[in-house]
Amino acid sequence: MRPLPLRLAGRAAGLLLSVALTFLGLLLITFLIGRVVPIDPVLAAVGDRAPADVYERVRTELGLDLPLWQQFAIYVGQVARGDLGESVLTARPVLHDIARVFPATLELATAAIVIGVLVGVPAGVIAAVRRGRWPDHLVRVLGLVGYSMPVYWLGLIGLLVFYAKLGIAPGPGRIDIFYEGLVAPVTGIITVDALIAGETEIFWNALSHLALPALILGYYSLAYISRMTRSFMLEQLRQEYVTTARVKGLSQWRVVWFHAFRNITVPLITVVALSYAALLEGSVLTETVFAWPGLGLYITQSLLSADMNAVLGGTLVVGAVFIALNLLSDLLYRLLDPRAR
């Protein structure tokens, strides 16, 4: 048997190799998408009225006259250097644009996952404990509705009801226009930056703009989390150790939360991590509906402008987030569950 340091080194090397191969596959898929999409990046750069010699010169500068494998090798090298190309829409490096807009998406997705966890987990536990009764039916119906309806449709209905009809929600956008530029961007998350600057009025204004889109995404998230929590809890409540705990006279609350729930914590972490990643990706349509200046709106506007460098760069970042959160959940799984080690 090999010594422990060698085993740990071998596992770390295997993990790094797996992540590298996964990211390489992501690069390949992203690259092929850029070549399959019926958008000419040269025309997007020079316009459809450019002379033929200008078109050919730009095509050569972009390396589109090279064989496909060579183009992919150049693309991998550029990404390895942190170069995602230049945006046609903003005339700035794509990585700079993504660093500017990603905090807004992070803020929205984080608020949504907090809502999803705080509501979805207790709802799933209650549904499992009250299986077949009205709380179970209510949670299942709400979960089915939230998971089945398109999130952009929920966003439109939310704006129609709470903004247009009732007038209790602010309009689209991240903050009222007369507050823009009054807080220096430190983290890029405007609620946090407002608190750092001591601007409580701007904080509450930003929080009011965040509430409706976060609730829409949070409902979508809690629908999935509550369903998975219910499924995990039903499996644990059928186990013999639960019956033994009840026979010993332990209270229902203690049996459920200190015994059964502790055993679903590990798989639930994976569910929450992947749900968080899905929110970072799925906020594309929500950001478009609410004019939220995040990564989703950036990708949408870039796609409509045929700015493929920006579209592929944003897609690559979303994929990298999925890989990172999946890796994090796997590490937490191994850390919290001795059987996985």
pLDDT tens string 129-185: 888 888 888 888 888 887 778 777 888 888 888 888 888 888 788 888 888 778 888
Whether residues 139 and 76 share a domain: the answer is no
Whether 110 is in a domain gets the answer: yes
Whether 89 is in a domain gets the answer: no
Please state, in angstroms and rounded to a whole number, the distance separating the CA atoms of residues 32 and 70: 13
In this predicted structure, what is the pLDDT of residue 3?
60
Choose one of 17, 45, 80: the last residue of a domain.
Answer: 80
Q: What is the CATH classification number for the domain harbouring 270? A: 1.10.3720.10
In this predicted structure, what is the pLDDT of residue 135?
84
The domain tally of the chain equals 2
Whether residues 175 and 320 share a domain: the answer is yes
Tell me how crowded residue 101 is: count the other CB atoms within 10 A of its CB.
20
Whether 255 is in a domain gets the answer: yes
In this predicted structure, what is the pLDDT of residue 113?
92
Whether residues 203 and 288 share a domain: the answer is yes
In this predicted structure, what is the pLDDT of residue 47?
67
Whether residues 76 and 176 share a domain: the answer is no
With contact defined as beta carbons under 8 Å apart, do 74 and 66 qualify? Answer: yes
pTM to 2 decimals?
Answer: 0.82
Whether residues 143 and 284 share a domain: the answer is yes
Whether 85 is in a domain gets the answer: no
> Is 238 strand, coil or helix?
coil
Please state, in angstroms and rounded to a whole number, the distance separating the CA atoms of residues 192 and 314: 24
Among the residues of the chain, which ranges form H helices?
4-36, 41-46, 52-61, 68-80, 94-129, 134-148, 151-158, 190-196, 200-237, 240-247, 252-254, 261-289, 295-304, 308-336
Whether 76 is in a domain gets the answer: yes
Taking Cα atoms as reference points, which of 275, 310, 276 lies closest to residue 296?
Answer: 310
Q: Which residues, given as ranges, of the chain have pLDDT below 50?
A: none
Whether residues 21 and 76 share a domain: the answer is yes
DSSP labels, 114-144: HHHHHHHHHHHHHHHHTTTSHHHHHHHHHHH
Whether residues 194 and 291 share a domain: the answer is yes
In this predicted structure, what is the pLDDT of residue 338?
60
- Residue 84 burial (C-beta neighbours within 10 Å; 0-12, 13-18, 19+): buried
Whether 92 is in a domain gets the answer: no
Whether residues 292 and 322 share a domain: the answer is yes
Tokens of 145: 């509705």
In this predicted structure, what is the pLDDT of residue 282?
60
In this predicted structure, what is the pLDDT of residue 115?
92
With contact defined as beta carbons under 8 Å apart, do 57 and 65 qualify? Answer: no
Domain coverage including residue 62: 4-80
Whether residues 68 and 120 share a domain: the answer is no
In this predicted structure, what is the pLDDT of residue 118?
93
